[in-house]
């Protein structure tokens, strides 16, 4: 394979990978994956985080995900801040708003406090959304000028060309995942077909969001190869050109001021 791939959103630390995590990473390496970005979801995450595994570089973020809103508390926010203080390369994420989850007011409050931490420590953010893009923009608006120039990533982008352009114009990259492997996702496919190539990054969201043909199975970072294949089918650029640009974009974006000696692309 003539190019490298960067899975910018993979929950490799989830329990579902405990029995075969290294084999999963090896399969990803065989498909060209050379870097994986692992977002945080809650305080109950592994304390020991390797820098590499099976030849693949691992990068990390720390955040409190709305899926686990019932489990989060103010002490968890203190823990997030402590992690940001101790690890200069950590982003803030996965954070966001989700209309399918309970405790909306608490979600919004927690989201804002984590954005404020991102501003304080000048870290990009990884944004989760579900039926909530307009809500995210509402709460982000007062902080946009104070976030780093590289604002972060809108994870698992789905939406219209107009929505894509709005996020890009505000300084965010769009996470391109398994959604585009489904022909029925016409609106999202059209948006990503016409978005600037340097505004896109690849992701799997493994173990979730399986690509077309693997429904009902555990997703893995190796399937980022399927995502880029679908993206190449949508766009006019050569697949190698797409791969090189997405790798370059990801390497420039991740990590920010990493504190690990090997944390370079």
The CATH fold assigned to 5-253 is TIM Barrel (3.20.20)
Place of tokens 């769009």: 174
In angstroms, the CA 218 to CA 131 distance is: 24
The CA dihedral of 217, 220, 226, 228, to the nearest 10 degrees, is 140
Give pLDDT tens digits along the chain (265 positions): 578 999 999 999 999 999 999 999 999 999 999 999 999 999 987 766 899 999 999 999 999 999 999 999 989 999 999 999 999 999 999 999 999 999 999 999 999 999 999 999 999 999 999 999 999 999 999 999 999 999 999 999 999 999 999 999 999 999 999 999 999 999 999 999 999 999 999 999 999 999 999 999 999 999 999 999 999 999 989 999 999 999 999 999 996 544 443 345 6
CB-hemisphere CA count at 13 Å for 258? 18
């Amino acid at each position: 394979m003539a190019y490298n791939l960067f899975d910018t959103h993979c929950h490799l630390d989830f329990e579902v990978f405990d029995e075969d995590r290294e084999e999963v990473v090896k399969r990803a390496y065989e498909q060209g994956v050379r870097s994986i970005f692992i977002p945080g979801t809650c305080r109950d995450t592994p304390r020991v985080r390797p820098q590499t595994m099976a030849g693949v570089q691992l990068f990390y973020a720390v955040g409190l995900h709305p899926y686990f809103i019932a489990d989060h508390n103010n002490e968890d926010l203190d823990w997030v801040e402590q992690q940001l203080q101790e690890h200069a390369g950590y982003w803030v994420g996965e954070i966001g708003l989700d209309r399918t989850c309970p405790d909306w007011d608490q979600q919004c409050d927690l989201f804002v406090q984590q954005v404020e931490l991102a501003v304080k420590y000048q870290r990009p953010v990884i944004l989760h959304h579900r039926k909530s893009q307009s809500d995210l923009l509402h709460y982000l608006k007062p902080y946009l000028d104070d976030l780093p120039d590289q604002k972060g990533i809108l994870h698992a982008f789905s939406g219209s060309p107009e929505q894509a352009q709005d996020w890009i114009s505000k300084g965010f990259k769009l996470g391109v995942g398994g959604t585009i492997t489904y022909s029925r996702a016409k609106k999202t496919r059209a948006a990503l077909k016409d978005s600037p190539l340097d505004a896109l990054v690849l992701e799997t969201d493994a173990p979730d969001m399986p690509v077309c043909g693997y429904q009902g199975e555990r997703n893995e970072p190796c399937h980022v190869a399927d995502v880029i294949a679908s993206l190449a089918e949508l766009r006019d650029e050569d697949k190698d050109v797409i791969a090189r640009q997405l790798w370059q974009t990801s390497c420039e974006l991740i990590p920010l001021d990493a504190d690990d000696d090997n944390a370079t692309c």
